Amino acid sequence: MLTGSRSERRSPRSLRAEYDQFIEQRIEEYKDSLPRADILSIGDEAMHELAGALQFQLTEVVLRDQVDAIIRRRLKLPSFRRWREKHLALRAAQVQPGHWGLSVHEPVSRLLEVLEDQDPVLVIGAADGACALLLAAHGALVHVCDPDIAAVYGLEGRALNEQLGASIECTVVQLERFEPFSWFVACVIESGTLAALAVRDRTALIERLKTVTPDGGHHAIMPAVPGRGRSDARLSSDAIRTLYGDWEVIALPAASGSHSRKVKNTGFTAVKPAASHNVTEDAVS
């Protein structure tokens, strides 16, 4: 259980709010794709429609709303009812790890049992986007950090296509200089992303991530495997495990048929223990 971080449970976001975000995103994407002359032309069309409707007080807000209404008609954006039917079916698939090519036993999947709606989660490494997208589908507010701008752009594009863009924010940053800017209920670390870091920088980064994780918070270390992130990654998740000696490390279940054989580079989950309070009465007084 987290301590000192979530004193109040947040209400889940409504479908209406998600729908409004979806419509706004599509309209803004369309505006960004148009040259200025076309935007002005839509503005003229909006002015004409408002004049025909005997709008008594023309304001900038009224004109903007009319422009949005015209774009909405052009894009044939769905009504709330039509969107809801498709959206619920899409989310039912997206909340399944298998939808993103992940196993239910992988470290990131274990986080789903402890996260609440709108919990802030940090992801180090965009990789193929699977972890960030799965967490966003479950209602987490995901912030992804990666030094590779191409990987970040790829994730942002995929998030928009999956209607999860509003829940994922990305930053291009050199990890050896990355300073976490807030606390995070959980952190997912793509092992391959840390491969290029020197041991000293990798250790320092992990310690900074631990600092912004509350008691009871989780770190999910993903295995470095082909197809997830950089193909030249050579850092095993087992090499990172030694940096969590002061946390509770949860081993993943053995694969079928492996019996008691130790499986390497499977990733792991670590839980931050509650701080000890060995304070004497004299010290308190």
234 & 118 share domain: yes
CA distance 285 to 283: 5
Q: Does an H or E element contain 120, and which?
A: strand 120-124
Please say whether the beta carbons of 188 and 124 come within 8 A.
Answer: yes
Higher local confidence (pLDDT), 115 or 9: 115
Which of 32, 47, 80 is the last residue in one of the domains?
80
Whether residue 35 lies inside any domain: the answer is: yes
**Average pLDDT of the segment spanning 135-156:** 95
66 & 136 share domain: no
Higher local confidence (pLDDT), 220 or 195: 220
**Average pLDDT of the segment spanning 232-251:** 83
246 & 167 share domain: yes
157 & 211 share domain: yes
Give the total number of structural domains in the chain.
Answer: 2
32 & 135 share domain: no
Q: Are strands 268-271 and 248-250 parallel, antiparallel or unpaired?
A: antiparallel
**Domain enclosing residue 73, as ranges:** 15-80
At 46-63, the pLDDT tens digits run 888 887 665 556 677 888
74 & 106 share domain: no
76 & 114 share domain: no
At 84-100, the pLDDT tens digits run 888 888 889 999 999 99
Distances (CA, A) of 160 to 84, 129, 169, 180, 234: 17, 12, 11, 25, 31
Q: Closest Cα partner for 2 from 247, 214, 209, 211? A: 214
**Helix pair 80-94, 130-137: axis angle to 10 deg:** 130
Whether residue 87 lies inside any domain: the answer is: no
Q: What percent of the chain has pLDDT over 90?
A: 47
pLDDT band, residue 233 (cuts 50/70/90): low
pLDDT band, residue 227 (cuts 50/70/90): low
Please say whether the beta carbons of 127 and 233 come within 8 A.
Answer: no
28 & 60 share domain: yes
Distances (CA, A) of 222 to 26, 88, 173, 219, 269: 33, 29, 20, 10, 9
**Average pLDDT value for the chain:** 83
Q: For residue 53, what pLDDT is reported?
A: 67
Q: Are strands 218-222 and 268-271 parallel, antiparallel or unpaired?
A: antiparallel
Q: For residue 260, what pLDDT is reported?
A: 39
